[in-house]
Structure 1
Amino acid sequence: MTFSELQPALTYNKAYQTRVAYFSMEFAIHQPLKIYSGGLGFLAGSHMRSAHELQQNLIGIGILWKFGYYDQIRKADQSMNVLFQEKLYYFVKDTGLRFQIDINNSPVTVAAYYLAPEVFDTVPMFFLSTDLPENDYLARTTSYYLYNADTAGKVGASILLGVGGAKLLDLLEYNPDIYHFNEAHPLPAAFYLYSKFKNLAEVQKRVVFTTHTPEEAGNEKTDINLLNKMSYFCGTPLEEVRQITGEWGEIFNHTLVALRMAKIANGVSKMHGEVARQMWNAYPDICPILHVTNAQNYNYWADSRLYQALKANDDEALLKRKRRLKKHLFEEVANQVGDIYKEKVLTIVWARRFAGYKRADLLLRDVARFERLVTNTQYPVQIIWAGKPYPMDYGAIGTFDRLVQESKKFPNCAVMVGHELKLSKLLKGGADVWLNNPRIRKEASGTSGMTAAMNGALNFSIQDGWIPEFARHEHNCFVAPVAEGNLTEFEMDEFDHSNMMDLLENVILPMYYDQPEKWLQMVKNSMTEIIPVFESGRMADEYYQKIYNA
């Protein structure tokens, strides 16, 4: 079966004729397809939707994770628990294609599944699985868990995505002009191409690479001998691998090699592009690093009724709709934790992946001051936290559990579980303030604030990621001051906590309650100015203009 036989009716916009295969370890397409963990998947999902809307000649390649990332549930004391439950996806169709790849020097059979464009309004998408009776148990587990904590399991998943995806494209006779690696996870595809062409230049002219994180932990390094043992290099001898990658030591830097095997790379915001160049430009033989700022899909994320009211300049309708969206969220808050929230009270939401640098508990740095904030009857406030830590990140889970225990003390503080697409949409609709407080220069982009703005929430943020490209303080956002000099993490946390609490107490809360007209104007400014620059149609177009056709 070829791609043209499987999907014969597609037509493409003349501006987007370059044929692209987009590889990603995760895609957040729609709530029923739980093959994502967080921001990387949310971004990839919006990209696939906008590429479809623009009729781009692009397909997605991913893995059909049997147990997804995990289901976030609670223990008896309301603290966080992890459930791995088998997922069923009858809307993803088995193509019947079966082929073999080598993982750990053993043949593993791969099945290819197809998600047609009409199911969720995306480009055509293929998902790979090793969960087949002809494979042994270890091989079957390769497609069980997204971001397996076991190093060998993680390497096997990269081989499945990269080599499996590239081999599938050959079987489908798809013949992409460009292989787009969304992060370095699909890097084995570059070695698959090298095994075909035996020429690094032939690989480089076909590969582009997006790096998403300036965090050390996000740029993976692995023992090169383990990779060689596990068939990561598609049969290329180790000495030849060293020659083409420049990795002469025992540790293989995945991001660095991706930068050497691609023709062009990009960071995911203007600021992140600068950080990425600072990180990598000292290394020889890397490709140019540009930036394409992340964005999110309006048609999926934006509340259409809010925008109808905005377009009609009907302030009362806009406010009424916002109260309705808050009510929808508050029903879920009551369902999960028993707190009854009020639609007229300022509601702050912090919702994203729990990770140390994102500082979920920054507002609680001074517990006495936090208690004064949440018990203030003149300017009442409601706070919600939500997010899924990596299931083996016990520090992040500890932060989550601490917030759960602290929130029990107050009827206007809540920590929610199940932070996936559906809850994310509820949170953005119900938020008045979308809180974003990472340590500066640690957040590559951070797109949740874009979709919050599309739902009438105001961003309250550190000047990091995409925010400097959008924010105008007290016009469309509230922005914390930037610290001067080289501060320690302790000093930075102190500085940011003090400034953000000052802004909350002295600017944000008084404006919401005492200057509702000014608040509403800021909301309207934010909703207006987030489009079109931070809508993923711009991003999908920019990838063609700056990256694919470069």
Structure 2
Amino acid sequence: MTKYDRWYHPYDIDDKYNRRVAYFSMEFGIHQALKTYSGGLGFLAGSHMRSAHDLRQNMIGIGILWKFGYYDQMRNEDQTMRVVFQKKFYSFLEDSGITVKVVVNGHPVFVKAMVLKPETFGTVPMYFLTTDIPENDYLARTITHKLYDVETNARISQSIVLGIGGAKVVDALGGTDIYHMNEGHALPLAFHLLEQFGGDVKELQKRMVFTTHTPEKAGNEEHDIQLLNRMSFFGNIPLEEARTLTGMHGPMFNHTLAALRLSKISNGVSQLHGKVAQHMWYENEGICDIKAITNAQNVPFWMDSVMMHACKNDNDELLTLRKRQMKMTLFEVVADQTGKLFDPNVLTIVWARRFAAYKRADLLMRDMNRFFDLLSRQDEPIQVIWAGKPYPYDYGAVEVFNKLVNFSYKRNNMAVLTGYEIELSRKLKQGSDVWLNTPRRPREASGTSGMTAAMNGSINFSVQDGWIPEFGVHGENSYLLPIVDTSLPDTLQDDQDYLNMMTVLEEEIIPTYYRNRPKWLSIVKKSMNDVVPMFDANRMAHEYYSLLYK
């Protein structure tokens, strides 16, 4: 027996946050050394766990210990992207002493919980589940090998391990008042609890809350309901009862819709996304209320302390010096990876996030002649950096990444970096002057990378989507693209956004950076001041307690 066999926190719980909450997420971006994340969803969950610790909340995190992480992004001989899966080892995780059994595809699978102590990285206690233990056969051991495994059966198995295995671990720790599903990956949890409550949905709803991050129906996970039943997704709940409880009468089972019907309350992750989610789902009977709690990031973890000090004291000299130092740190990575020497005196634009079609990584290159003319400017030059991980089996996204790599051969002031994880993300946000964000509106639920860029003196240059409408004031704390008609075909939206982007870049951003430094620095400082505390994860963690967990 260890102290982690019970609900343990190394601090006195604040009375405002005394309800027990177990937070379930398929990924957590806690630290560079812990490869249990793929992108924004994990970064958000990691900041939540840090701020819950800082606020002394009565919360724990439940995730999965991915043996191979997401994947390691490396390069082929021609510099294009190569996907590598390497085993990960963590000396700082401890055996909690808890092993539970779940049923997957009719077979028993044992799940061990490894604990991340709060003292290690400054989070609430976190329990990472693994099936890669001697008690299981080879197939069962592979369930927790790869985050977002391409095989459908593996993805379903991962949901069972997270949901039902996680619920049993929580039981072993003494239970909880609230189960919070961050996205629908842990949905089998609901059916496990329904079995305990004799199928009483109202009893379940007293304890279940749900966060959705996906602003279009096509992106919400669906599976054949017969396959889910064969895989033991519904636990011991008979298929027809599962249909009745979730209102699913067709051949496909929508995870988000089921979660909205089985939860007492849910939320989108920005004010705009909350409205989009309501529009998407309110036509369905029996769903819970959808509120909006805007995502945020943990300031102590992400914000450079020197920049913070300079901004608070209105010290332009120190602010400029520190930004130059941070640019040099980033440019060492550029030189190491690409052999290119970037200039800290040159305006540096960064586009860095998950590569997906709607995020339009290559929008800046829509007119290649104009783009190369822009890169060829001698009087007021720019440098552009791209980084980000496509889903390895999204071949369209990989093709865009590789296209950028191939074009980068042609210019010394254009670079594409690999390995976009927490530490590279930090360097890009600290070393950029402009943080470029180009999703098709309103398909970006939140887009939290711009928050941490703003915390480090990088000005957001963005489509008005996700969190940006709550923050951005054009020409004061950011540069914004005019809103285009979203009823237009994608190609026409892209044309309009491109022309607007180039106009703002050429007529406002570049001239201000080079010809009006006082104004540029005023925008930088206004951005840093406006992003905190509204987009500090402490605000977000507090709102979850006050709006969802009551």
TM-score (norm 2): 0.99
Q: Which runs of 4+ in 1 moved over 2 A?
A: 1-10, 215-218
Task: Give the fraction of aligned pairs with identical amino acids, expressed as a percent.
Answer: 56
Q: Residue 341 of structure 1 aligns to a residue in which SS? A: coil
Deviation per residue, 1:362-418 (Å, 9 max, x gap): 011100000111101121000000000001000000000000001110000000000
Aligned AA (1:190): A
- Deviation at residue 242 of structure 1 after TM alignment: 0.9
- Find the aligned partners of 1:223 and 1:341 in 2 and give their Cα distance: 51
- Cα RMSD (Å) of the superposition? 1.0
Shift of 1:484: 3.2
1:358 aligns with 2:359: yes
Partners of 2:10 and 2:517 in 1: CA distance: 52
Where does residue 178 of structure 2 map in the other structure? 178
CA–CA distance in structure 2, aligned partners of residues 445 and 8 of structure 1: 30
Q: Structure 2 counterpart of 1:201, which letter?
A: K
Asked whether the equivalents of residues 182 and 210 of structure 2 are also in contact (C-alpha less than 8 Å), the reply is yes
Read off the aligned partner of 1:223 and give its amino acid letter.
D
Taking a change above 3 Å as real, the CA distance of residues 296 and 315 of structure 1, as seen in their structure-2 partners, is same
Which residue of 1 is the match for residue 531 of structure 2? Answer: 530
Task: Give the corresponding residue for 1:423.
Answer: 424
In 2, the alpha carbon distance for the partners of 1:425 and 1:336 equals: 17
Distance in 1 separating the partners of 2:503 and 2:546: 43
Following superposition of structure 1 onto structure 2, how do residues 280-295 of structure 1 map, counting pairs within 5 Å? 280-295=281-296
Give the 3 Å change call, closer, same or farther, for CA 485–268 of structure 1 in structure 2: closer
Matched to 1:187, the amino acid is L
* 2:208 partner letter: V
Corresponding position: 1:547 with 2:548: yes
User: Paired residue for 1:189?
Assistant: 189
For the 8 Å contact 2:212–2:256, the answer to whether it is kept is yes
Instruction: Determine if the alignment matches structure 1 residue 466 to structure 2 residue 467.
Output: yes
Structure 2 CA distance for aligned equivalents of residues 439 and 339 of structure 1? 31
SS in 2 for 1:414: strand
Aligned residue runs from structure 1 range 278-427, under 5 A: 278-427=279-428
Distance 1:146 1:216, change over 3 A: same
Superposition deviation, residue 8 in structure 1: 6.3
What displacement does 1:439 show?
0.4
Within 2, Cα distance between the matches of 1:276 and 1:76? 44
Letter aligned with residue 423 of structure 2:
K
What SS does structure 1 have at the residue aligned with 2:423? helix
Quote the offset at 1:7 in angstroms.
3.2
Cα distance in 2 for residues equivalent to 1:101 and 1:289: 31
In structure 2, the CA distance between the partners of 1:91 and 1:217, relative to structure 1 (3 Å rule), is farther
Q: Deviations over 1:467-496 (max 9, x none)?
A: 000000000000001113621000000000
| TM-aligned CA deviation for residue 217 of structure 1 | 4.5
Gaps of at least 5 residues in structure 2 are: none
Does 2:519 correspond to 1:511?
no
In the alignment, does 2:46 pair up with 1:45? yes
> After the TM superposition, which residues 477-492 of structure 1 pair with which residues of structure 2 at under 5 Å, given as runs?
477-484=478-485, 486-492=487-493
Query: Are the counterparts in 1 of residues 485 and 493 from structure 2 also a CA contact under 8 Å?
Result: no
Give deviations 1:91-125, integer Å, cap 9, x for gaps. Answer: 01112322211011100011110000000000000
- Counterpart CA distance in 2 for 1:169 and 1:518 is 53
Q: Secondary structure at the match of 1:383?
A: strand
- Residue-by-residue CA offset, 1:188-220 (whole Å, 9 max, x unaligned): 000010011111111111000000011345300
Q: Which residue of 2 aligns with 1:212?
A: 213
Task: Write the mapping of 1:425-444 to structure 2, written as runs, cut at 5 A.
Answer: 425-444=426-445
Q: CA deviation at 1:5?
A: 4.7
Query: Do the aligned partners of residues 496 and 257 (structure 1) sit closer, same or farther apart at CA in structure 2, a change above 3 Å counting?
Result: same
Amino acid at match of 2:382: V
Structure 1 position 158, deviation (Å): 0.3
Tell me the distance in 2 between the aligned counterparts of 1:483 and 1:110: 49
SS at match of 2:266: strand
Change (3 A) 1:6 1:484: closer
Amino acid at match of 2:389: K
Distance between the aligned counterparts of 1:525 and 1:172, measured in 2? 45
Equivalence for 1:25: 26
Change (3 A) 1:6 1:13: closer
Partner of 2:266: 265
Matches within 5 A, 1:71-110: 71-110=72-111
In structure 1, distance between residues paired with 2:531 and 2:7 = 37
In structure 2, what is the equivalent of residue 231 of structure 1?
Answer: 232
Amino acid at match of 1:105: G
Query: Partner residue of 2:144?
Result: 143
Report deviation, 1:10.
3.4
Question: Contact between 2:6 and 2:173, CA under 8 Å: does it hold in 1?
Answer: no
Counting matched residue pairs gives: 548
What is the rounded CA distance, in whole Å, between the counterparts of 2:47 and 2:133 in structure 1? 30
Report the Cα distance in structure 2 between the residues aligned to 1:99 and 1:374, rounded to whole angstroms.
Answer: 58
- List gaps (5 residues or longer) in structure 1: none
Structure 2 CA distance for partners of 1:515 and 1:86, relative to 1, 3 Å: same
* In 2: Cα distance, 1:52 partner to 1:450 partner: 20
Distance of 1:312 and 1:434 partners within structure 2: 24
Residue by residue, what CA displacement relative to the aligned partner does 1:3-46 show, whole Å, maximum 9, x if unpaired?
Answer: 56573643100100111000000000000001100000000000
Matching residue of 1:55? 56
Distance in 2 of aligned mates of 1:211 and 1:167: 24
**Amino acid paired to 1:371:** F
Q: Deviations over 1:286-329 (max 9, x none)?
A: 00000000000000000100111112221101100000000000
Within 1, Cα distance between the matches of 2:5 and 2:313? Answer: 45
Q: Distance in 2 between matches of 1:328 and 1:418?
A: 16
For residues 80 and 206 of structure 1, the distance between their equivalents in structure 2, rounded to whole angstroms, comes to: 44
- Cα distance between partner residues in 1 of 2:346 and 2:512: 13
1:185 alignment partner, SS class: helix
